[in-house]
Structure 1
Amino acid sequence: MTIREQENPRLQELGDFLRTRRARLAPEDVGLPRGGRRRAPGLRRVEVAQLAGVSVDWYTWLEQGRSITASTQVLESIVQALRLNVSEREHLFFLAHQQPPPERAWELEIVSPTLQNFLDHQGLSPAFVLGRHWDVVAWNAAASILFGDYNQLTSRERNSIWRMFTTPGHRHFLVDWEEHARRMVAQFRASCGRYPGDPRLTELIHDLMLCSPEFRAWWSDHEVLGPLEGHKTFNHPQAGYLHFEHLTFQVFDAPDLNVNVYTPVDEGDTPTKISQLLSEKSR
């Protein structure tokens, strides 16, 4: 392997991802006999190559992060061989591209007046916009009373994954913190796969690895997930338990921006509590 290949973070990530996916599968999971004693968990490279219909040498080079061309057909075969889900399949294809993302990935993230107006008109629903580095780049009044006044936070403190793992209060504020934090790591890794080598993301990952043992442990799992809808419960210091349905969607004209909306549900009288908090803030 050349020095250039060793230094390519996309190829390194691709190799690590394939190895962790292979390690989680047993031969019987894919219809193969277990055979004799195995020195390591999971499938052997020769077994994945057999299932994908490629040579063992070629698949080994792929896991080693060598700069080789992988056609769409071959990647689809690997998806089937490793039993990848939808998010993992998308992650594999991003990592296997032989060129960086389009230049728009490095442009400034600008929230249009129309998008800010949309946030402001969500009323009792906390809403904010995440950029490609997971910074909160725009928000409405309801988001400030739920998550804290973003105007008073530093740029690093406005980073949602940094806040999740480095703010002690978050562990009590977000009910089922570990479940949501694990899911966030998987979504963050999938997002990072779109921007290999991005210096800000590289720095953020490095700092999180140093500051959070949980992030360090879960990051090595190489789990990937896309945005998920669902229910979230927060234990607000003034209002108590607040219940929301959470939805994330991409901005069509600015695909690096993701809008997050938390719609209050009737459980726990959440809409009334949000209304009271907003009223108190406006006094």
Structure 2
Amino acid sequence: MTTTAPVTATPQPPRGAEIRRHELAAFLRSRRERIAPEQVGLPRGTRRRTPGLRREEVAQLSAVGITWYTWLEQARDIQVSVQVLDALARTLLLDASERAHLFQLAAAADPTPAASCPSVTPALRETLRALEPFPACVQNSRYDILAYNRTYARLMGDLDAVPPEDRNCMLLVYTDSDWRAAIVHLEETMRLMAARLRASMAGHLGEPAWKMLLKRLECESPEFRENWRRYEVVGNRSKTKEFLNPYVGHLTLEHTDLWLGPQAGPRLVTYTPKNEETRERLERLYELAAGPREPREQRTP
């Protein structure tokens, strides 16, 4: 009698997606365990045995379900939105390199300006430089600051000290204490900017980066929520603006948008002095501005 040996299936190596899920799970655990509760405003307590944060704490701080987050750390095959990845990156206090690694492991594109932005040409950089001592920057229709010169960096505090992913005029006006203190007519400015954002957003409904910005503003600013509920819409226009600069004092400036293409997308924003006193103070501010003289630009981590 002839017997046939049982056929044993050859183990297949893990697929790329599965490997990424396990790497993502390990990375999240390692980042969670390194953060002390005090770093995110939580009490340590006397019975904590978990190093760093608990899973439920990360889920709560990121506004996601505990079951869903647990599955993520268990390398389950689940879909992860860029909004959730952004929230996790903030909760886990990831730096630029760690944030880029998180999105890469999740096979997702980071929509923040810190990760990707329209290229700023050498000619445009030279224009920013040539405009000094007048403040100038390049923004997109979502108010992300894509590049800026030395004087703009110190117009409302220290923009260089702001993390690249937070260099957004809407966020700064509504949540940054330095910017809020520098704007003379703050309430009017906030209401106008919310109305301009609503007008711009009509052409970008459903896009992840816009949804992320809107959700963050609504979560972090009661004033934004109130202004957003007004459903006001305002187009772009030049106007006089006043600032209380922390370095040189009161500035009265004419704000102008110069569009860089046929569509209402990226624009060159300039501030020119309305009087001789402001002109002299801008010159002093330019001399006081620290750091290299090259216009700053968002770069891929």
What range is the shorter-chain TM-score in? 0.5 to 0.7
* Bigger helix share: 1
Take 1:151 and 1:173, find their aligned partners in 2: how far apart are those partners? 16
SS in 2 for 1:133: coil
- Identify the match of residue 189 of structure 1 among 198, 202, 208: 198
Deviations 1:240-278 (A, max 9, x none): 1111011012102775201110001216x1111111122
SS in 2 for 1:191: helix
- Identify the match of residue 136 of structure 1 among 133, 145, 149: 145
Q: CA deviation at 1:126?
A: 0.4
The aligned residue for residue 277 of structure 1 is 285
Q: Kindly tell me: are residues 253 and 223 of structure 1, through their superposed partners in 2, closer, same or farther at Cα, counting changes over 3 Å?
A: closer
Q: In the alignment, residue 140 of structure 1 is paired with which amino acid?
A: N
**Gaps spanning 5+ residues in structure 1: where?**
1-106
Aligned positions of 1:29-108 closer than 5 A = 108=117
The aligned residue for residue 64 of structure 1 is none
- Identify the match of residue 247 of structure 2 among 204, 215, 238: 238
Does the 8 A contact of 1:124 with 1:263 survive in 2? no
- TM-align CA RMSD: 2.0
Take 2:210 and 2:221, find their aligned partners in 1: how far apart are those partners? 16
TM-score under structure 2 normalisation? 0.55
Deviations 1:109-149 (A, max 9, x none): 11111112111111221000112432100111111121344
Q: In the alignment, residue 215 of structure 2 is paired with which amino acid?
A: H
Does the 8 A contact of 1:173 with 1:234 survive in 2? yes
Deviations 1:198-227 (A, max 9, x none): 111101111111111110011011111111
The aligned residue for residue 219 of structure 2 is 210
Q: CA deviation at 1:169?
A: 2.8
The aligned residue for residue 179 of structure 2 is 170
Take 2:161 and 2:120, find their aligned partners in 1: how far apart are those partners? 19
Q: Kindly tell me: are residues 226 and 215 of structure 1, through their superposed partners in 2, closer, same or farther at Cα, counting changes over 3 Å?
A: same
Does the 8 A contact of 2:253 with 2:271 survive in 1? yes
2:188 pairs with 1:179: yes
Aligned positions of 1:223-262 closer than 5 A = 223-252=232-261, 256-262=265-271
Q: Kindly tell me: are residues 254 and 128 of structure 1, through their superposed partners in 2, closer, same or farther at Cα, counting changes over 3 Å?
A: farther
- Identify the match of residue 119 of structure 1 among 111, 118, 128: 128
Q: In the alignment, residue 117 of structure 1 is paired with which amino acid?
A: E
Take 1:144 and 1:127, find their aligned partners in 2: how far apart are those partners? 9
What is the count of residue pairs matched by the alignment? 176
Deviations 1:136-165 (A, max 9, x none): 001111111213443332123211100010
The aligned residue for residue 162 of structure 2 is 153
Q: In the alignment, residue 227 of structure 2 is paired with which amino acid?
A: W
Larger radius of gyration: 2
**Gaps spanning 5+ residues in structure 2: where?**
1-115, 292-301
Q: In the alignment, residue 273 of structure 1 is paired with which amino acid?
A: R
Does the 8 A contact of 1:124 with 1:264 survive in 2? no
Take 1:147 and 1:229, find their aligned partners in 2: how far apart are those partners? 19
Does the 8 A contact of 1:156 with 1:162 survive in 2? no
Q: In the alignment, residue 217 of structure 2 is paired with which amino acid?
A: L
The aligned residue for residue 9 of structure 1 is none
TM-score under structure 1 normalisation? 0.58
**Where does structure 1 differ by over 6 angstroms across 4 or more consecutive aligned residues?**
none
Taking every aligned residue pair, what percent have the same amino acid on both sides?
30
SS in 2 for 1:121: helix
Take 1:136 and 1:253, find their aligned partners in 2: how far apart are those partners? 20
Q: In the alignment, residue 275 of structure 1 is paired with which amino acid?
A: E
